[in-house]
Amino acid sequence: MIHDFISPLYDFAFTQIFGCQENIDNTRAFLKTLLDIPQEDYDELTVVNPVLKKLSRRKKTGVVDLRLTTKTKKIIHIELQINKRANLRNRILYYAARLIGDQLNWGDDYDKLHQVISIVICDHKLLKEEEDYINEYELRNKKNRSFTKMLKVIILELPKLPDAEDGAVWPWLKFLKCKTKEDYEMLARKYPEMKKPVYCAEKMSLIEKWRNIRFHQNLWKVDERMLQEQIRLDKEEARQEGREKGLAEGRVEGRVKGHAEGHAEGQDLATHKIARKMKANGYPLAEIVENTGLAMDVVANL
């Protein structure tokens, strides 16, 4: 019996049920209802590091929710998006492109690239122009001819899920929407394939839930502290660059003016760096303007 549970839509619960190797049967069964890849691909379905390689010190680091490889080296990326994001479509494309680009090392041929399949599960309506809750995208021309099958994006929108079953993937998405003990028990009774995921949700004890919640809360705090520390370091680095430039100009011109101008320029660089950092991490434009003193149009164009 399920006496308590936490929604599978929580990051740590979703990861426990679908994103660990010991429960890979859940992930395999879910994907088989959705993808048309060869059955042999599922023979070696492996959870791999979700962190995307940082291309350089100043480039953005990416972390996906779940990253898998198949027997033939296809890459399957599953992303869970609970909250609405204005730039979500760009984010999806960015992750997919990074997963393609990260495959090659120096000197590798392009024929070594493997297909990337991005599956995005939204607990909100992302595609307002579409009525279906499953929408699949590929690169095609206006005549519907495929350019390449190297990239596929599948969007699943939970709010559009019909009340009545209409396909093999329906029970899995219904599982993600479970809100009561009765919902879980109904799925487990009616759909044998749902017994294990329901069991995985059930066995997460209150202590485990509390520990995971506290861990993620602490992780968010650490992330915020790291962001603030990085902003401080960027600011100091920019100031130092300005001081050094000012001193150099002052020595060349024989005037103290160069130092003052360089220092001012360094402060300006620091302010712009902070604004770019905040914008990259999703801060509202108004908040960036308030914290940096920059004009709205300047922040918008960074």
Pair (238, 136) in one structural domain: no
Q: What tens-digit pLDDT sequence spans the chain (302 residues)?
A: 344 667 888 888 898 899 999 999 999 999 999 999 999 999 999 999 888 876 666 667 778 899 999 999 999 999 999 888 878 999 999 999 999 988 988 889 999 999 999 999 999 999 999 999 999 999 999 999 999 999 999 999 999 999 999 999 999 999 999 888 888 989 999 999 999 999 888 777 554 555 555 555 555 555 556 556 666 776 777 777 777 766 666 655 555 444 445 445 555 666 777 777 777 766 777 777 777 778 888 878 87
Pair (175, 42) in one structural domain: yes
Question: Is residue 118 a contact partner of residue 79, using CB atoms and an 8 Å limit?
Answer: yes
Q: Which residue has the tokens 């890849």?
A: 37
Pair (289, 141) in one structural domain: no
Domain count, the chain: 2
Amino acid at 133: Y
Pair (53, 105) in one structural domain: yes
Phi, psi dihedral angles at 62 (to 5 degrees) = -120, 140
Neighbours of 57 (CB within 10 A): 5
| Domain containing residue 141 | 11-204
Pair (198, 65) in one structural domain: yes
Pair (80, 162) in one structural domain: yes
Whether 68 is in a domain gets the answer yes
Whether 210 is in a domain gets the answer no
Whether 116 is in a domain gets the answer yes
Pair (62, 178) in one structural domain: yes
| 230 contacts: CB under 8 Å, gap ≥ 6 | 277
Pair (130, 271) in one structural domain: no
Pairing of strands 146-157, 134-140: antiparallel
Pair (237, 98) in one structural domain: no
Pair (95, 153) in one structural domain: yes
Pair (158, 22) in one structural domain: yes
Whether 220 is in a domain gets the answer no
This prediction has a pTM of: 0.67
